[in-house]
């Protein structure tokens, strides 16, 4: 049997396979409340055989939304709207996960569907953004530097959102510390110019992430806690795989059990070269250096390609984004590509379509 379709033990719970759905913003909510679009969108991937379905970047406070149309978990109406969506994912055999997020200086931006770019002005439904330092992402509005009380409030907001996420039925909580959003902004020396206990040394830059991990652990002790990190800023003087590996080790000591290794997003001048499997080497480096379970993501689009990443020992899990959008039954197809169609969890309703081995 393939590695891709072998089950995985995570913090005492079993995930049915190692082909997961990466979080993907849908920019389709009103007041942070998920709706019918999110329900159909996420449930279809569970029918399509995913091991874990991770719901999109979900803001822990309103000002943490990337766009005004992002989903959230800062109030109980949002929690209650998530609950049937989460149940639909679980009913189809996948583990429901959610990415808890705060966009920091990259918040309050136009959704891609508007055709506009950059920051949404306050008088058009946007808001004042916050960041570790008052340094803007190129082309976006200036953020205000968080003071220590503001940092404490961010930690509490992550914990409160974690409680709501668990109440809604989510089993995996992924902290979004990648792609240039708030937790990554604290990690990277390119965006964190603070001179207090949250800036300067690696320990100080990692302090907020570790506090959030501690707070979420305490608030949701039974949830599977994972972290998505960018393993490099792809920019001179920025965040890199060595710093990532050190912080991942610390995060594991604080109770995170899995690390979803992505890259980039912090600065507009990043020099990123994409292509099939373009971030796999980063996952492999973190896995080897930190000795933790990691996921590889980025242009992994076929069963054999995914299987070879696992067989090489570069990652424990494959996450995919766009391939699930092209083919919501990606896992069913991947098993067929690997010559073992029955290894995928075909819904009984669809088995008549399953190819013979």
Ligand X SMILES: Cc1cc2nc3c(=O)[nH]c(=O)nc-3n(C[C@H](O)[C@H](O)[C@H](O)COP(=O)(O)O)c2cc1C
Q: How far is the CB of 319 from ligand X (least distance, A)?
A: 7
Of 173, 273, 184, the C-alpha closest to 229 is: 184
Binding track over 29-68 against ligand X, x by CB under 6 A: ---------------------------xx-----------
The reply to whether 283 sits near ligand X by the rule CB under 6 A is no
The region of 17-25, 123-131, 132-140, 246-254 touching ligand X under the rule CB under 6 A is 17-25
The reply to whether 99 sits near ligand X by the rule CB under 6 A is yes
Q: Which residue has the tokens 């759905």?
A: 21
The region of 23-31, 116-124, 286-294, 303-311 touching ligand X under the rule CB under 6 A is 23-31
**Using CB under 6 A, which of 3, 15, 24, 161 touches ligand X?**
24
Structure tokens at 169: 């039925």
The reply to whether 322 sits near ligand X by the rule CB under 6 A is yes
Identify which of residues 319 and 343 has a Cβ nearer to ligand X in the complex. Answer: 319
Q: How far is the CB of 274 from ligand X (least distance, A)?
A: 8
Ranked by CB distance to ligand X, the top (closest) residue is: 321
Of 113, 102, 105, 140, the C-alpha closest to 29 is: 113
Categorise residue 179: left if φ over 0, alpha if ψ from -120 to 50, beta otherwise.
left
The C-alpha atoms of residue 161 and residue 76 are separated, in whole angstroms, by 10
Size of the site for ligand X (CB under 6 A): 19
The reply to whether 321 sits near ligand X by the rule CB under 6 A is yes
**Using CB under 6 A, which of 299, 327, 337, 340 touches ligand X?**
299
Q: Is the Cβ–Cβ distance between 253 and 285 less than 8 Å?
A: no
**Using CB under 6 A, which of 219, 297, 309, 315 touches ligand X?**
297
Q: Is the Cβ–Cβ distance between 355 and 341 less than 8 Å?
A: yes
**Using CB under 6 A, which of 25, 130, 131, 267 touches ligand X?**
25
Identify which of residues 160 and 178 has a Cβ nearer to ligand X in the complex. Answer: 178
Beta-strand ranges (E) seen in the chain are: 8-10, 13-15, 19-21, 52-59, 95-101, 130-131, 144-145, 172-177, 224-230, 258-262, 294-297, 317-320
Q: Which residue has the tokens 């499997």?
A: 277
Q: Which residue(s) pair with 101 in the sheet?
A: 59
Q: Is the dihedral of CA 292, 298, 303, 309 positive or negative?
A: negative
The region of 28-36, 185-193, 212-220, 295-303 touching ligand X under the rule CB under 6 A is 295-303
The region of 103-111, 211-219, 291-299, 309-317 touching ligand X under the rule CB under 6 A is 291-299
The C-alpha atoms of residue 220 and residue 210 are separated, in whole angstroms, by 15
Structure tokens at 46: 């569970």
Active site residue 27: no
Radius of gyration of the chain (CA): 19
Q: How far is the CB of 260 from ligand X (least distance, A)?
A: 8
The reply to whether 340 sits near ligand X by the rule CB under 6 A is no
Question: Which of the residues 181, 198, 278, 350 is marked catalytic?
Answer: 181
Task: Name the site residues for ligand X (rule: CB under 6 A).
Answer: 22-25, 56-57, 99, 176, 178-179, 228, 262, 297-299, 320-323
Residues carrying an active site annotation: 181
């Amino acid at each position: 049997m393939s590695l891709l379709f072998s089950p995985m033990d995570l913090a005492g719970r079993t995930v049915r396979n190692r082909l997961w759905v990466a979080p993907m913003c849908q920019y389709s909510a009103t007041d942070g409340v998920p709706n019918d679009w999110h329900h159909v969108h996420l449930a279809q991937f569970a029918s399509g055989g995913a091991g874990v379905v991770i719901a999109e970047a979900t803001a822990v406070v309103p000002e943490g939304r990337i766009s005004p149309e992002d989903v959230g978990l800062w109030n109980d109406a949002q929690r209650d709207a998530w609950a049937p969506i989460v149940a639909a994912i679980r009913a189809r055999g996948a583990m429901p996960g959610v990415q808890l997020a705060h966009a920091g200086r990259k918040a309050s931006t136009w959704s891609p569907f508007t055709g506009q770019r950059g920051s949404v002005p306050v008088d058009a439904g946007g808001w004042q953004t916050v960041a570790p330092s008052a340094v803007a992402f190129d082309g976006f509005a200036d953020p205000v530097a968080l003071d220590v009380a503001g940092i404490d409030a961010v930690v509490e907001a992550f914990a409160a959102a974690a409680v709501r996420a668990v109440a809604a039925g989510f089993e995996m909580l992924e902290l979004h510390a990648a792609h240039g959003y708030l937790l990554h902004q604290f990690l990277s020396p390119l965006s964190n110019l603070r001179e207090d206990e949250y800036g300067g040394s690696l320990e100080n830059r990692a302090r907020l992430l570790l506090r959030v991990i501690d707070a979420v652990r305490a608030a949701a002790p039974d949830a599977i806690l994972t972290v998505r990190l960018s393993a490099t800023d792809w920019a001179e003087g920025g965040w890199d795989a060595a710093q990532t590996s050190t912080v991942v080790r610390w995060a594991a000591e604080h109770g995170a059990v899995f690390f979803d290794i992505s890259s980039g997003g912090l600065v507009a001048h990043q020099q990123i070269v994409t292509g099939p499997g373009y971030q796999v080497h980063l996952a492999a480096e973190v896995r080897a250096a930190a000795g933790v379970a990691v996921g590889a993501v980025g242009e992994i689009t076929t069963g054999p390609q995914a299987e070879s990443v696992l067989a090489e020992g570069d990652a424990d899990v494959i996450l995919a984004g766009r391939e699930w959008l092209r083919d919501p039954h990606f896992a069913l197809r991947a098993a067929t590509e690997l010559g073992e169609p029955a290894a995928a969890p075909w819904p009984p309703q669809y088995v008549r379509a399953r190819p013979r081995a």
